[in-house]
Amino acid sequence: MIYEKENRYIIPFDDVPSPRAEMPEISVDERRGNFVEVETGFPENMSVQEAKRCLSCRRCLGCALCWAECEPEAIDFSIPDEELDLEFDDVIITKGQDNAFYPIDSKLGFGSYADVITDIQFERMLSPTGPTDGMVVSPLDGEIPKRMAIVQGNPDSEDDQILSSLILGVNESIIALDRTKELEVVLISPINQAFKEQFLSEAEQVSGLKMAGGAPDSVERKAEGKPLILHYTENSQQKDEPFDLIVILTKPRISSEIESLSRRLEKSVQ
Amino acid sequence: MCTGRVDPALVAKAFKKGIDGLMVVGCYFGDCHYITGNHQAKAKMDMTRKLFKFIGLNEDRLAFRQCSSGEASVFVELVSEFDQKILDIGPLGGDGDTVKAPEIFKKLEAAEAVLAGEKIRWIIGKRTPFLETGNMYGEVFTEHEFNRAIDMIIVEEMEVQEILARLKETARSVKDLANDLTIPPARVFRYISALKRKGMVALDTVAGQTPIFQIARQEV
Amino acid sequence: MQDKKVLIVGGGIDGVNAALEKAEAGAQVTIMEKFPTLGAERIPRDRLIQPDDAFVNPDLNKVRNHDSIQVLTYSKIKKVSRDNGKVTAHILKQSLRVDNSKCNDCKACIKVCPVNMFDDFDESLSFRTAVDYFNPATGEYNIFKEDMPVCQQACPVNLDIRTYVGQIADGKHLDSLATIRDRLPLPGSIGRVCPHPCETACNRQYIDEPISICFLKRYVADVELNKEIEPVYETPEKKLPEKIAIIGAGPAGLTCAYHLARQGYENITIYETLPVPGGYLWVGIPEYRLPKKLLQREVDLIANMGIEIQYNKRIGKDVSFEDLKKNNDAVFIGAGCHLGLKLRVPGEDEYEGKGIVDCVTFLRDQALGNPIDTKGKLIVIGGGNAAIDSARVGWRMGFDEVYILYRRTKKEMPANPWEIDAAEHEGVIIQYLAAPVEILGKDGRVSGMKCIKMELGEPDASGRRRPVPIEGSEYVIDAETIVPALSQAANLEFLGEDHGLDINRWNTFDIDEETGATNIQGVFAGGDVVTGPDIAIRAVAAGKKAAEGIHEYLRSK
């Protein structure tokens, strides 16, 4: 399943022709010594077939069925957008609710396996008002995991980034363990000095949580219906272990909109 | 009766009762007393054929044809041609269909629920305004785009209605539903959480590692 | 400070807390968030927690009911500027389309809504419907209506791709062409040369491959051509008298003229230095990618709207920029970037014109039919589309062997990958990880080039790995012609001295992005002369924006 914010959810349908049409070209021999157009263009049937591949992405269809069903008549398509011109003495820029993060190495399987999710998604899952009412389940099959791993997605990050994602990882583990019977969590990340001094002893006392200093290498599923295999390095030792759910600790970044705003106003993001 | 009034849900019901073929014969385009009745009929039957294909029923079992009331010979020709076609396809749920009996009847039951549901009815009824004057935002659809919207609703509604039908029988887990319906479990998981959000499905119990879902009380 | 007005951007926990803090201190606070409601509970990132107080929750009710806090959700900043410490902002508050004071949360709407979409609030873990609540904690409903689909958003001119592709699927090819021409007057040309950012955005890529949007545009343009239909671009009956001068008949200038003519302006003159129209489309894109006949036809259709194109008119020589400004109500500068950059290696200046010819000149000479000596071997230096074009042109003209030298690897090459493949396919020899060291000559002419092998080192500021020379790896390629194709720059000499226009350090214009206006009233600019060398469709977009800017300026005068 694709995780692409603000993109349309796509459903495959059989009669949609596939794959993309190739542009016909004249041969290389016909090209030497002249400037005849190389690409000869789609013929009609090919163009129509290609056009039919279009998914016609649209979210609200504007069908007004909701409006027809709404008893208190709260839905009103004619409520206009408002444009405001405002003046301020000061501006404070915060990162907002857009939880953007730096790209994750594709070897970790995020985006290809439904049971590999980000720490931000896991946080939504743990939230009492979230999509699973706070229950820890694998989005792959809806089952409650027995063994899950929380892994550092950007092990080469700066120290304070590692520290804050470690704290988040431990926090999420505490809540997940508290909610879930017979769960075992392995947290795999480089453990830095600051974390060792302040939090490591506390984290090691959480029952069910195992801290593994190291870095993840790759994630794979050997066969359909089998758990994910996580390959990782702990104390320069190569390990391969099965997990029912893998959570990746991401490296947060400021969304591009906020970033450009901050640049234009010469104000840093708080 | 105008063919524009033929309800696709009735078509599905007829097949559920075991008929092998159904032909809707309407007036020629341009001859409609109600201006667009036969266009609507064609759109509805096209959509129903699409749904039949999706559930594994040979869509040629349903046909939309046109002739005028004065053309007796044309009518006879249409009927004998269709009759031969159905003979070639064979009995419902047999070799002519991808999904066999009795499974196909379960699918038809869900199909009837889809076609009787508000979503499909409403959208198909919006076809003419969408293509000519536009939706609530004044955006005019191309036919292709309208068909894509219908495709999307057919797939999702069909899968949702099948899930609801199974849950009405008994409480089930995501995995069980996925196995029964051959829908990928990750998709079932999403449907279940969407249905939960709508208040139509609720968690029943947790058996070991497996959450079991049931139909919400007010939906029974 | 009393009554200080503060804008808080972002309605997450940080924003909500900052709003409360400032409001308590006596300020007038406006909090703005792009999503339909304010933030939700979060797990803290700065301390270890116990499950009881697991989530930090912002006090949303307090914010919403606070007398001195104005909440703007589902809002975007359209324009913002900072002057003397004051910040002025133009904010668009999108309509929720649901009156939440009437809503009783019965969920009837979400049960019937036929559209499932990824739920942004739940980070795509689940679905929401098009009409739904955003944050379950606040319960406010909204209808999610995007401005445009992703392809249209990615297109610099925001072509209505969904509609024109749909019309092709319906078999309505000429309607589709009309849809395209509503925004883009050069469908056949752009349909051949565009590197199509729309296809990069296309959602279909997540199933198999993106739709071939660009070639479909070319297809409908070709349908009209093959059917020998001569369309007439309509102009309104009510004409507008103002005089407008446009410098450069490239994609930016032509588009600007087209859209102004559609507004009713009948005194539009385009001044073009070259004897041909199209700017870089004519003299930079080779015939085998874009036939001149086709380009000429598309230009003629625009010119037939009553637009005068004066060829061989160089501003600064035949007409001064000052006079142009004086004699017209508005001027649009779309002069492009027609100055090839130098290699800066020994021997380059010595053999300039004696075997060394920059890619802009090389391609222009070929396009205009000027004589080019095609004896021996050709070396093109660079990795952009201009380098590939030069090489493929050279190969067609009959050079014995054609080389491209690029200092990084194929992966880093900025040219379109399909162009690189085509060049290799035709027999152009691409030497990756190689750079020029010195131009060698004999009897006053280029005889070859000393090159050096490179390897990739640490990433530089652009994120690409920096190429480093391998010591002692020098080698020589014999060649009679060398074409540097590094990048292009704008030549602004035509403006004369004391023109007073704001020019930035890249020697391009600083303009108002919304209107294309320069710092001088009535003078507008767009295209490569603003952006530096860029793709044609962005120049088209700039031309269209400037046409709107000029119209607004002239009507408010």
CATH code of the domain containing B200: 1.10.10.10
3-state DSSP call for residue A10? coil
CB contact under 8 A, C204 and A54: yes
Q: List, for residues A75-133, the tens digit of each pLDDT value.
A: 999 999 999 999 999 999 998 888 889 989 989 999 889 999 999 999 999 998 888 98
Domain boundary among B103, B131, B146: B146
Residues of B in contact with C207 (CB under 8 A): none
Chain C residue with the nearest C-alpha to that of B201 = C111
Domain C150-226, CATH class in plain words: mainly alpha
DSSP label at residue C458? E
A182 → chain B, closest CA residue: B209
Amino acid at C132: D
Q: Which residue of B has its CA nearest to A61?
A: B135
Query: Residues of chain B whose C-beta is under 8 A from some C-beta in A?
Result: 50, 53-54, 118-119, 122-123, 126, 134-137, 139, 142, 144-145, 148-149, 151-152, 155-156, 173-175, 178, 185-186, 188-190, 192-193, 196-197, 203, 206, 209-211
Paired strand residues for C230 = none
**Residues from chain C contacting residue B127 (CB–CB below 8 Å):** none
**Percent of chain A with pLDDT strictly greater than 70:** 94
Domain boundaries, chain C: 5-93, 108-143, 150-226, 240-338+490-555, 340-488
Reading the block at residue C132, the tokens are 């739904």
Interface test with C, best of B198, B200, B219 (most C CBs within 10 A): B198
How confident is the model over A132-190, as pLDDT tens digits? 989 999 999 999 999 999 999 999 889 999 999 999 999 999 999 999 999 999 999 99
Alpha helices in C170-267, H assignment, sequence order = 173-181, 187-193, 197-201, 213-226, 251-263
Contact call for residues A137 and A125 (beta carbons, < 8 A): yes
pLDDT of residue A5: 47
- The rounded Cα C191 to chain-centroid distance in angstroms is 15
Chain A residues near residue C286 by CB distance under 8 angstroms: 35
Q: What is Dmax (Cα atoms) for chain B? A: 69
CATH topology of domain C240-338+490-555: FAD/NAD(P)-binding domain (3.50.50)
CB contact under 8 A, B185 and A142: yes
The predicted pLDDT at position A2 comes to: 36
Helix, strand, coil share (%) of chain C residues, nearest 5? 30, 25, 45
Please check whether residue C112 touches A, CB under 8 A. Answer: yes
Query: Does residue B153 lie within any of the structural domains?
Result: no
Helices (H) and strands (E) in chain A — how many of each?
7, 9
pLDDT number for residue A78 = 92
pLDDT for res A14: 55
Q: Identify the closest residue of chain B to A59 by CA–CA distance.
A: B149
What 3-state DSSP class applies to A209?
A: strand
Smallest CA–CA distance, residue B2 to chain A, in Å, is 25
Q: Report H helices in chain B.
A: 8-16, 37-55, 72-89, 103-116, 118-125, 127-132, 143-169, 174-181, 185-197
Q: Which residue from A102, A103, A101, A107 is spatially nearest to A216, judged by alpha carbons?
A: A107
Q: Are residues B121 and B17 part of one domain?
A: yes
For chain A, which residues make up each domain, given as ranges? 1-96, 106-249
Which B positions 166-195 lie with beta carbon below 8 A of chain C?
Answer: 190-191, 193-194
**C240-338+490-555 has the same fold as C150-226:** no
Closest residue to B194, CB basis, from C114, C127, C170: C127
- What is the distance in angstroms between the Cα of B194 and the nearest Cα belonging to chain C? 6
Return the CATH number of A106-249, one of 3.50.50.60, 3.40.50.720, 3.30.70.1400, 3.40.980.10.
Answer: 3.50.50.60
> Do B134 and B178 belong to one domain?
no
Q: How far apart are CA C290 and CA C214, in angstroms?
A: 14
Nearest to C217 by CA among C153, C278, C151, C263: C151
Digit-by-digit pLDDT tens for chain C (557 residues) are 456 899 999 988 889 999 999 999 989 999 999 888 888 788 888 888 888 778 888 788 888 889 999 999 999 998 888 888 889 999 999 999 999 999 998 999 999 999 988 888 888 888 889 999 888 877 789 998 888 999 999 999 999 999 999 999 999 999 999 999 999 999 999 999 999 999 999 988 888 889 999 999 999 999 999 999 999 999 999 999 999 999 999 999 999 999 999 999 999 999 999 999 999 999 999 999 999 999 999 999 999 999 999 999 999 999 999 999 999 999 999 999 999 988 899 999 999 889 999 999 999 999 999 988 999 999 999 999 999 999 999 999 999 999 999 999 998 899 999 999 999 999 999 999 999 999 999 999 999 999 999 999 887 766 778 899 999 999 999 999 999 999 899 999 999 888 889 999 889 999 988 899 999 999 999 999 999 999 999 999 999 999 999 999 999 98
Give the tokens for residue A154: 């950007």
Total-model pTM = 0.89
pLDDT at A75: 95
Residues of B in contact with A142 (CB under 8 A): 173-175, 185, 188-189, 192, 210-211
Q: Which long-range contacts (CB under 8 A, 24 or more apart) does B182-189 make?
A: B183/B159, B185/A140, B185/A141, B185/A142, B186/A1, B186/A114, B186/A139, B186/A140, B186/A141, B187/B159, B188/A142, B188/B163, B189/A114, B189/A137, B189/A139, B189/A140, B189/A141, B189/A142
Q: Using CA atoms, how far apart are residues A106 and A248, in angstroms rounded to an integer?
A: 12
User: In chain A, what is the greatest distance between 2 CA atoms, to the nearest angstrom?
Assistant: 78
Residue C15: in which H helix or E strand, if any?
helix C13-24
- Please name the residues in contact with A236: beta carbons below 8 A apart, sequence gap of 6 or more: none
| Inter-chain CB proximity C114 and A65 less than 8 Å | yes
Q: State the DSSP H helix or E strand holding residue C13, giving kind and residue range, or none if neither.
A: helix C13-24
CA C518 to chain centre: 19
Span C5-93: which CATH code?
A: 3.50.50.60
State the nearest Cα–Cα gap between B93 and chain A, in angstroms.
Answer: 20
What letter does residue A59 receive in the DSSP assignment?
S
Residue of B nearest to A147 (CA): B209
Q: Is the model's pLDDT at A7 over the cut of 60?
A: no
Report the pLDDT value the prediction gives residue C395, as an integer from 0 to 100.
94
Question: Cβ of A64 under 8 Å from any chain B Cβ?
Answer: yes
Tell whether C369 is within 8 A of chain A (Cβ): no
CB of C212 within 8 Å of a chain A CB? The answer is: yes
Tokens 């209505």: give the residue: C160
Q: Which two tokens stand for residue C354?
A: 């004696």
Domain range C340-488, CATH architecture = 3-Layer(bba) Sandwich (3.50)
User: Does C426 contact A31 at a Cβ distance shorter than 8 Å?
Assistant: yes
Exposure string for B52-86, b = 16+ CB within 10 A, e = fewer:
bbbbebbbbbbbbbbbeeeeeeeeeebeeebeeeb
Residue of C nearest to B139 (CA): C163
Residue B154 lies in a domain: no
Interface of C with B in 148-207 (CB under 8 A): 162-163, 165-167, 169-170, 172
The pLDDT score that the predictor gives to residue C124 is: 85
Residue B158 forms part of a structural domain = no
User: Which chain B residues have a beta carbon less than 8 Å from that of C112?
Assistant: 118-119, 122
Identify whether residues B30 and B129 lie together within a single domain: yes
> Is C170 within 8 Å of B142 when comparing Cβ atoms?
yes
B contact chains, 3+ CB pairs < 8 A = A, C
Instruction: Chain B: give the shortest CA distance to residue C164, in Å.
Output: 9
pLDDT confidence of residue A1: 30
Question: Is the per-residue pLDDT at A6 higher than 80?
Answer: no
Tens of pLDDT along chain B (220 residues)?
A: 799 999 999 999 999 999 999 999 999 998 888 888 899 999 999 999 999 999 999 999 999 999 998 999 999 999 999 999 999 999 999 999 999 989 999 999 999 999 999 999 999 999 999 999 999 999 999 999 999 999 889 999 999 999 999 999 999 999 999 999 988 999 999 999 999 999 999 999 999 999 999 999 776 5
Q: Which residues pair with A240 in a beta bridge?
A: A231
In a domain, B164, yes or no: no
Q: What is the pLDDT of residue A3?
A: 42
Structural domain count, chain B: 2
Q: Which residues of C478-511 are buried (b: 16+ CB within 10 A; e: fewer)?
A: ebbbbbbbbbbbbbbebbeeebebeeeeeebbeb
Q: Which of C91, C115, C422 sits opposite A84 (nearest CB)?
A: C91
Q: Do A144 and B206 touch (CB under 8 A)?
A: yes
Q: Of A68, A139, A144, which is closest to B211 when you measure between CB atoms? A: A144
The CA distance from C303 to the nearest CA of chain B, in Å, is: 31
Look at the block and give the residue holding tokens 């051509």: C225
Residue B86 has a pLDDT of: 97
In angstroms, rounded to a whole number, what is the distance separating the alpha carbons of residues C28 and A39?
A: 62
CB spacing of C126 vs B145 below 8 angstroms: no
CB C346 within 8 A of CB C438: yes
Helix (H, G, I), strand (E, B) or coil at C437: strand
Q: Tell which C residues from 284 to 303 touch A, by Cβ distance under 8 Å.
A: 286-291
Kindly report, residue by residue over C254-280, the tens digit of the pLDDT.
999 999 999 999 999 999 999 999 999
Question: Residue B43 CB: number of other CB atoms within 10 A?
Answer: 22
Coil, helix or strand for C347?
A: coil
Among B137, B140, B143, beta carbon nearest to C145:
B137
Domain contains B160? no
CB burial string A161-197: b at 16+ within 10 A, e below? bbbbbbbbbbbbbbbbbebbeebbbbbbbebbeebee
CA distance B153 to chain C (A): 6
Instruction: Show which subunits contact C, needing at least 3 CB pairs below 8 angstroms.
Output: A, B
How far A189 CA lies from chain B's nearest CA (Å)?
A: 27
Residues in C touching B145 (Cβ below 8 Å): 162-163, 166
Contact call for B193 and C127, based on CB within 8 A: yes
Domain containing B8 equals 3-146
* Residue B195: closest C-alpha in chain A: A131
Quick one: B127 and B196 in the same domain? Answer: no
- In the B/C pair of chains, how many CB contacts fall below 8 A? 56
* Number of other residues whose CB lies within 10 A of the CB of residue C445: 13
Q: Does B134 touch chain C (CB under 8 A)?
A: no
Contact at CB, B151 and A13, closer than 8 angstroms: yes
User: Chain A: residue nearest C216 by CA?
Assistant: A47
Nearest alpha carbon to residue C146 among B133, A56, A66, A53? A56
